[in-house]
Structure 1
Amino acid sequence: MTLAIGLVIAGTTTTTVFADEHVVKKGDNLWDIANTHDVTVDYLMEKNELESSIIYPEQKLSVQETYKVKKGDTLYRIAKDNNVSVKELKEWNNLQSNLIVIGEELMIKAGSIAIENEQSQPVMASKQQKNKEKSSQTTASPAMKKSETPEGKTLTVTATAYTADCAGCSGITKTGIDLRNDRNAKVIAVDPNVVPLGSKVYVEGYGYAIAGDTGGAIKGNKIDIHVPTKKEAYAWGVRTVKLTIVE
């Protein structure tokens, strides 16, 4: 007799999803929180509808979900509904088989399928959209060239991304730049003790920019680059790049 995938024992038909929270403490940043809970920064931003990587003490962040199995569920269906794989569900919950029981709580994190789909979105953009984005980037920094190697003090930094295109965002940087008036403005948030505010910089993979903003989570060799949309912020994710202070 063959055991059917996701065999379920009869019982209640109620579905319950619990969200586990992390309360932000002073000095916390999304990168460290993501590592602690074995998820990605992109997952935390999307899960909590964050428009930038800036977080504040006492802020509550949902870091993962616990799904309560209901009648008729299978691992395949749960995985598909949550955009993860059956293999990941089994690894996260130490399952040795596909057997699940009604009322059992399954931990759900950011899966590789979800990450792959999210990262592929810019690639699937239409040719017209790509041309528009290319034109915007050229307008924002006409002197930028791929082969260009600017001179100046160079640092290795961790770079995340944010956008002013969000409900309730003021769009005004620490130095007074209004990002709402120019969504394509090349501006980065920095730790002024590392990169002086007002500096002209060159960021690998981003181009020339102005160090015009700060952030509570931007300490040491960390920066936050400004991009036009939330989708582009997700696509950027977290990267280790070279930053050169040009002037």
Structure 2
Amino acid sequence: MKKQIVTLTAIAALSVGAATTASADSTYTVKSGDTLWGISQANNVSVSELKGWNDLSSDLIFPKQQLSIGEEKQEAAAEKSSYTVKSGDTLYRIAVNHGISLDQLMSWNGITGHLIYPGDKLVVSGGTAISVPKAPAPAATTAPAPAQSTAPAQSSAPATAPQSGKEMTVSATAYTAYCTGCSGITATGIDLRSNPNQKVIAVDPTVIPLGSTVWVEGYGTAIAGDTGGAIKGNKIDVFIPSRDAALQWGRKNVTIKILK
């Protein structure tokens, strides 16, 4: 019986020890010589976080003082649900990498276009749809409305180039959303089949950054929203919805200006 009692006592002691270890994960007992900076470095948190979690108004701490450090776990969980955009990222690729749809990514972050910038922080897990207010309708007027052109947007290129922007000459070809093997979805996630009047060009990202706004001679202002295996160096591919119009474009040297 004595052996059994000793065994049970040992198990109880081990259980208490385990509980103490578990609780120690979220608190730290200050030792003589400790500093907030040293504690923050040892626990991978910042001094300001430690002060905020423990309502400290100064850097003074005392031996045997209990400091909370458990909030770092909550911060880590929050980091997993968000993503910071890096150079070269696209909405489509971010969505694929996090196992969500492009629509979810755009809805959770209130995004209506496809332009993102390095440093942007996006919700990529467990988000909720953000309602984006629609632009107000133009005020009614009694004056007759001007006639609307039925030609695709690609045919209304500006007559003159913008005054500013990095200028270069490139070889330009054209493509459609219905070519053999084409999905109609660009490298940045633009659905060209659903947006046939969207002006988009395929570029070499090492020459023209994806997401840039580019004016193209004879085409107009477009988004650098796609890439292509044959688009290397000073070459671009302009999107034109009509196959016949794309064939008429052919291959030509044009002047472009990278606006932003």
Name the structure with the higher strand share: 1
Does TM, scored on the shorter chain, surpass 0.5? no
User: Which one has more relative contact order, counting CA pairs under 8 Å at least 6 apart?
Assistant: 1
Normalising by structure 1, report the TM-score.
0.43
Normalising by structure 2, report the TM-score.
0.41
